[in-house]
Amino acid sequence: MTGAVAAAAGGGCHIFSGCGFPSPGLQSFIWTPMFKIGSFSFTKPMLLGILAALVVIVFFWLAFRKPKLIPGRTQSLGEMAILAVRDQILRPSLGRKGDSYLPFLVSLFFFIYIMNVMELIPLLQFPVTSRIGFVWPMVFIVYFLYLYLGFKHQGAWGYFRNMIPPGVPWPIYIILVPVELLRFFFFQPLTLGVRLFGNMFAGHLLLTIFYLATWYMLSLSVGLLYAVGSFALAIFVFVLETLVTLLQAFIFTTLTATYIASSVEPAH
């Protein structure tokens, strides 16, 4: 049960109680601090972010602390996870020469996925990436990584020069250069972060709406029909979110691999 649903249930807010529908909104993404140290507030999303990082670290540590030629169950799962990222994300963008970036991409993918999937776990029920403050640090890490790699492999001037397609008539450069600079410095990192945040924000909001509507309209009268319909939609969105959580982690990591590939080797 989300915070909004719990508040409505605890307050007895119901279709026949005389109160209006407690519509969820931004308040569903704002958490009361668990504790404070001076001006620093520790909230539930922070706790879930730390938990997601620990899950990734502990799982791969357990999987490969004592690797065996004939792997056990945990090592087999770890190997399957790494091979999935390598074959579906890294190799299509970077080829075999990009295998040195595999640890980074595996960590990034599963860190994002665990933060996303917490939306669907009872009691936790909050996707950390629906708070954009948790998304921007990952975007900045990715951005500065492929900027650094671009300067390292192509040189600063060569990197910016290779952003512009060759053979373009010189008058077109008046338009093309500002557009490419905006794409690289603004739109590319912006869309990388907003896509992940927006999808997880919308999914959590929809789940909250249908959970809350189910409780609000539940009664032994005509309201029961609406409650059943709302609950069916909640189940549908829940199933859809199981795919979205995985897909958003895949898209973010795939774009990261593509950006690294463009930095390591220019497209033209």
Q: Could you give the CA distance from residue 117 to residue 244 in angstroms, rounded to a whole number?
A: 9
Distance set, CA 66 to CA 70, 100, 104, 110, 193 (Å): 11, 22, 21, 21, 37
Q: Could you give the CA distance from residue 147 to residue 239 in angstroms, rounded to a whole number?
A: 38
Q: What is the pLDDT of residue 217?
A: 76
CA-wise closest residue to 160 among 176, 172, 171: 176
Q: Could you count the other beta carbons within 10 Å of the beta carbon of residue 234? A: 19
At 24, is the secondary structure helix, strand, or coil? coil
CA-based angle 39:6:198, to the nearest 5? 65
Q: What is the pLDDT of residue 219?
A: 62
CA-wise closest residue to 27 among 208, 193, 217, 196: 208
DSSP H or E segment with residue 54? helix 44-64
Name the domain count of the chain.
Answer: 1
Alpha carbon dihedral 32, 37, 38, 42, in 10-degree steps, equals: -30
pLDDT per residue rounded down to tens, the chain (268 residues): 444 544 444 445 666 555 666 667 677 777 778 888 878 888 899 999 999 999 999 999 999 998 888 888 999 999 999 999 999 999 999 999 889 999 999 999 999 999 999 999 988 889 999 999 999 999 999 999 989 998 888 888 888 787 777 777 778 878 888 888 888 888 999 999 999 999 999 999 999 888 888 877 776 555 677 788 888 999 999 999 999 999 999 999 999 999 999 888 765 5
For residue 144, give both structure tokens. Answer: 């500065």
DSSP H or E segment with residue 42? strand 40-42
Q: Which domain holds residue 70?
A: 3-264
Q: What is the pLDDT of residue 169?
A: 79
HSE-CB of 192 using CA atoms within 13 angstroms: 25
